[in-house]
A and B are shown apart, each in its own frame.
Chain A
Amino acid sequence: MPVELKKVSKKDALKKFMDSCKSLPNPESQLIAILHKAQEINGYLNKELMDDIALEMNIPTAHIWGVATFYHYFKLVPQGKHSISVCLGTACYVKGAEEVLNTIRSELKVNFGQTTEDGLFTLQEARCLGACGLAPVIMIDDRIYGELTPKKVIEILNTYRK
């Protein structure tokens, strides 16, 4: 698909979503939902997108920027193909999350918020994934891997590299 066309269809999808928001009561309160949608479509939020939302929803870009930067979930830089969230919740911490994290760091040579050179992984910290029974855990995209050891982590990363 030509790049231009792809861009247009993405914008259309977002506009459609915003239109549906406008018909709801208190449409401006849907901002976070719109940002979720925009990130889902585009992978991350940039100034261009925020300007589009600002015009469409009649909300100042400055306010949108404020909201986007407040919440951890919103990304302001391009993300890798897979996102790795290392849970640093209490249970995971007690059970050795730091060790797992260090393994991933040295294996991928990235820090929190960074993407690997090949664009395959983005490393993130997670607060608590709510899978404390399996601690320590990581989540790659939507999948949770539990009871990890440094060795297991490397095996898991390798399955995504193929």
Chain B
Amino acid sequence: MKRTFFSTPYIVWMIIFIVVPMLFIFYSAFIQDGHFTTEFVNQALETPLYISVLIRSIVVALIATALCLLIGYPVAYILSNMKKSTAAILSMFFILPMWMNFLLRTYAWQVILADNGVLNMLLTTLGFAKGSFMYTQGAVLLVTVYNFLPFMILPIYTILSKIDRSHIEAAHDLGANSANTFFKVVLPLSVPGVVSGITMVFIPAITTFAISRLIGGKKYPLYGDLIEDKIVASGNLGLGSVLSIILLVLVIISIVVMHKMEAEQGNEEGGTLW
């Protein structure tokens, strides 16, 4: 029996749950009553609301990714310079929340940020005025960053801890002080980790809908909310499909850009998650 036989269940699975739904999306996006139509495409591209939501989604995803990188890189760097055992324990703290369901974590933030929530309780006991945090763009961003931060830290930490100490010593040996060593050796060598971190944060962030729904309310819908709204609430399968395809194209573009960035780096030492 051929070994490829064992991949059959997976191939069947892929066809049923990935290929067929994709074909279905494309069908409902361009075919209406048995005829080819671009009506949904026009709607999607010409309605100002849809465009502004798309732009908001991109901006939120970009800012969230940037914040994750700004927080995640130093954390990963510090972890990688620690004793292996200490780093293992500390990185557990970053992974621990991931054991819990994503939605539960987001609900937990509702409890924290609500008008009578934990944060406001803390503020009033400290003598500050109550704030209103829920249903703000800042809250959406905060929870997005919180949810996706581990996906930035882990690939960067992995690649940083794989950098041979001798590279750093070689840089010192050649006259580089600590800052030079970081910017000329450590940072360039960690680019593959940064690229996979960005990819792993940006793509789920741009396609997310639960966070904006639960934390942002109806005020700050993202593109994912729009798709869900069109398909589930309005039953407009055609428009929902077109919006999905637009998002898909966006994701594909960002993956291609990431790969380009990594290829320009010239080295493919491996160790990335993509």
Are these two chains actual partners, yes or no? Answer: no
Interface of B with A (CB < 8 Å)? none
